[in-house]
Structure 1
Amino acid sequence: MTAGVAVAAMTVGCAGAQATEETTSADKPTVVLVHGAFADSSSWNGVVRSLEADGYPVIAVANPLRGLASDAGHVRSVVDGVRGPVVLAGHSYGGSVMSQAADGLPNVKALVYIASFILEAGESTGELAAKFPGGELGPALKTLPVPLPDGKEGSDLYIEQDQFRRVFAADVPEDVTALMAATQRPITAAALEEPATKAAWKAIPSWNLVTTEDLAIPAESMRFMGKRANSHTLEIKASHAVAVSQPDAVADFITQAADSTLG
């Protein structure tokens, strides 16, 4: 999702001048951000600004949204190319992707799930989205046919623009959500149906931000997944688009995880 007009495929930055006396920016892990469905990397813009102000190097990855395994492969290639420790943060379907991508990567020191999915191997994103009542995203979706990478015919999913603010970003100003709805990136139905084969949270410490006003992923589902993963959990009154509506709170939560990795 996009909080502004620009579409940022990748945002990279490092604000060393903001580092504290105790810890320089060179000592801090790189924060890699993974957006979810109906979104793009610019959905993290406010979070990036806040993290950079605290001296963290940041990369916001362009998540392809084509298939869980292929999306995870792309994210993994980005993370694998980062020198030094990494904190991975994923929003929504981005959490499904990063759990798969981070498995076995020694430089990933923490996983931060932001209004997100924390899948067990064998589970799909769609399955967990429907596990508990309260989600209203499904009826707001429209489908369009699209060719898949394997040559088969599939479906792209979009949120109906007149439903976007209500189900996805109710606490974001209307002028912003109008832009978000118009610039949303679709996800294939196949990506939501594809089961995970890895669960990196079993070996990597995790943090779980639960959004209690979320109509895309019920809060009860996020609580269930976070408890199962033994995550450090914080609940916040926000819509699914919390990275747009409350970027400083999201950045602070990511910073808690990042600070835990410092020696």
Structure 2
Amino acid sequence: MSRSGSPTVVLVHGAFADASGFARVIPELIARGLDVVAPAVPNRSLLGDSAYIASIVRGIPGPVVLVGHSYGGAVITVAGAEDNVTALVYLAGYALEEGESLGELQGGFPDSDLAGALVHTPFPVEGSTTPGTDVSVEIDKFPSVFAADVDPGLAAVLAVSQRPLAAQAFAEKAPKAAWKTKPSWGLVATADHTINPEVERYGYTRAGMTTVEVDSSHLVMLAHPERVIELIEEAVRATAH
């Protein structure tokens, strides 16, 4: 538990990104007396990634507020079932239903610009003769699709330092949906070209979340960090004991 007696905030990044996407949020949370953990998500499979984040959560003494951006929302949907998770915060994220995959949730809505900007690359899988498939975003299209309102110099760095998502993650079904039993907050990025904002809105509404909407690109943590911090703090205040 943090110095203030508040929950530890665990920040879970999504696909095509890493924990540095929270660089403008982390210092402000720490300045408010909160303990923060921002792990590296393997981005290999929904089940494996969720199990990894759950193991980190279990190792934290005291309550945890679990924050997921983008694909990280799907990860916290599963990992958030850990006993010490007191709240979930979704940032432009996927709030899956139990038994639902990313592909199924997304498939009910028109494609975003991301669909036409994806690159599929084989990668070796240890112990298998069949390669896996990495999914990333075309470098030239990354800024407009992912980070339209982020500093262009930073967007260029992010474009060439992507953490791809294995294609397998799109098809795996969430074995549980933690938002059914944990209080949850959701942020819709209304200018999102990576995830159709309607996908975010639908998932949050279905889950009965407290929802806010921000005129932002997909990388809302870098474009509008103050709004993200406000939402995290709301979840912390509402669930702190």
CA distance, structure 2, for counterparts of residue 134 and residue 156 of structure 1: 20
CA distance, structure 2, for counterparts of residue 122 and residue 148 of structure 1: 26
Matched with 1:112 is 89
Matched with 1:231 is 209
Matched with 1:9 is none
Residue 223 of structure 1 deviates from its aligned partner by 1.1
Matched with 1:175 is 153
Matched with 1:193 is 171
Whether 2:124 is the aligned partner of 1:147: answer yes
Residue 129 of structure 1 deviates from its aligned partner by 2.5
Query: What is the TM-score with the length of structure 1 in the denominator?
Result: 0.88
Matched with 2:49 is 71
**Gapped runs of 5+ residues in structure 1?**
1-13, 15-24
- Paired residues in the alignment total 240
CA distance, structure 2, for counterparts of residue 59 and residue 28 of structure 1: 14
CA distance, structure 2, for counterparts of residue 219 and residue 44 of structure 1: 20
Residue 90 of structure 1 deviates from its aligned partner by 0.2
**Gapped runs of 5+ residues in structure 2?**
none
Matched with 1:219 is 197
Deviations 1:36-58 (A, max 9, x none): 00000111111111111111100
The 3-state SS of whatever aligns with 2:113 is: coil
Matched with 2:71 is 93
Matched with 1:133 is 110
Whether 2:99 is the aligned partner of 1:122: answer yes
The 3-state SS of whatever aligns with 2:135 is: strand
Matched with 1:247 is 225
Preserved contact between residue 50 and residue 247 of structure 1 (Cα < 8 Å): no
CA distance, structure 1, for counterparts of residue 223 and residue 48 of structure 2: 30
Q: % of aligned pairs identical?
A: 46
CA distance, structure 2, for counterparts of residue 214 and residue 148 of structure 1: 33
Backbone CA RMSD of aligned residues: 1.4
Residue 149 of structure 1 deviates from its aligned partner by 5.4
Query: What is the TM-score with the length of structure 2 in the denominator?
Result: 0.96
Structure 1 runs, 4 residues or longer, greater than 4 Å off: none
